[in-house]
Amino acid sequence: MKEYISAYYYGEPFILFSKEHIVALIFIFAFNILIYFTKEKLRKDKVDMLFRNFIASALLITELSFQLWCGFTGVWTAEYNLPFHLCSVATIICAVMLYKNSYNIYKLAYFWGLGGAIPALITPDLSGYNYPHYVFFKYFILHGLIIISVIYMTFVHSYKLKLKDFTNAFIYTNIYALFVIPVNILSGGNYLFLCRKPEALTLLDYLGSWPWYIISMEIVVLAMFFVLYLPFAIKDTIERYKSSGSGLNLGS
């Protein structure tokens, strides 16, 4: 049991798209599908409040448990463990969004939550830790909860986004990146991967060398945010056609 919570892990290292990786992704996907198909029941006031508070608390407890684990095992460093990673910030804002049922926070949590957690789940950076180590569970639980938070508010509370929310999210992301630069300088960290690429294989490996990949990353983030916004744009377009009585003539 001790080897599964120790900072020193001697088991088989994590392998991208291994059985453990795929199973974790399936569980997260299935939970989100379940939310969609039970959204009517989840909309009941008491159920909604209980679910939101539970997920919000689970987010914060999971993040806190990792900070404590790093502290107790002696691996906590300012270079890595300050809450300035995008998913760390998304954890906090998603928790606040759920506690307060805040539409305004959702407008940013949607893009930062999905934009950060989805790539993190597809190409995890687990520093070699694998199932059944604590770090493996923490990683997939935390990123899964971030996605669940956003999906829940999207379908259960029917929150919607406009074009200005997409552009604002991109602007806020760049403002945050400017704020993180001095944090990286003072801490020696690599938050938002502004100083170097992560050790694990990620999309950044295909975007050129430093600092040019940062420019490429800007384009990727913009494209990703647009793809995330696209379902709302398509839905709005369809609703406008329906309300105008024009209909969509797909046959001509």
Is residue 38 in some structural domain?
A: yes
Q: If pLDDT is split at 50, 70 and 90, which confidence band does 227 have?
A: very high
Strands, DSSP E only, in the chain?
Answer: none
Taking only the tens place, the pLDDT of each residue in 126-157 is 988 999 999 999 999 999 999 999 999 999 99
Check if the beta carbon of residue 213 is closer than 8 Å to that of residue 207: yes
Cα–Cα distance measured from residue 140 to residue 124, given in angstroms and rounded to the nearest whole number: 9
Length of the chain: 252
Is residue 5 in some structural domain?
A: no
Check if the beta carbon of residue 191 is closer than 8 Å to that of residue 184: yes
Is residue 34 in some structural domain?
A: yes
Write down the pTM of the prediction: 0.91
Per-residue pLDDT at 247 exceeds 60:
no
Is residue 177 in some structural domain?
A: yes
User: Helix, strand, or coil here: 11?
Assistant: coil
Is residue 252 in some structural domain?
A: no
Kindly report the average pLDDT of the chain as a whole number.
92
Closest CA relative to residue 217, chosen from 231, 207, 232: 207
The domain containing residue 220 runs over which residues?
13-240
Residue 35 C-beta-side C-alpha neighbours within 13 Å? 23
**Predicted pLDDT at 251:** 41
Q: If pLDDT is split at 50, 70 and 90, which confidence band does 252 have?
A: very low
Cα–Cα distance measured from residue 167 to residue 123, given in angstroms and rounded to the nearest whole number: 26
Is residue 2 in some structural domain?
A: no
Q: If pLDDT is split at 50, 70 and 90, which confidence band does 210 have?
A: confident
Is residue 109 in some structural domain?
A: yes
Is residue 188 in some structural domain?
A: yes
Cα–Cα distance measured from residue 190 to residue 28, given in angstroms and rounded to the nearest whole number: 28
The three-point CA angle 63-67-68 to 5° equals: 115
The two tokens of residue 202 are 């990620």
The two tokens of residue 9 are 């892990």
**Predicted pLDDT at 246:** 55
Taking only the tens place, the pLDDT of each residue in 7-51 is 988 888 999 999 999 999 999 999 999 999 999 999 999 999 999
Taking only the tens place, the pLDDT of each residue in 57-79 is 999 999 999 999 999 999 999 99
Per-residue pLDDT at 212 exceeds 50:
yes
Say how many domains are in the chain.
1
Taking only the tens place, the pLDDT of each residue in 178-202 is 999 999 999 999 999 888 877 666 6
CB atoms within 10 A of CB 19: 9
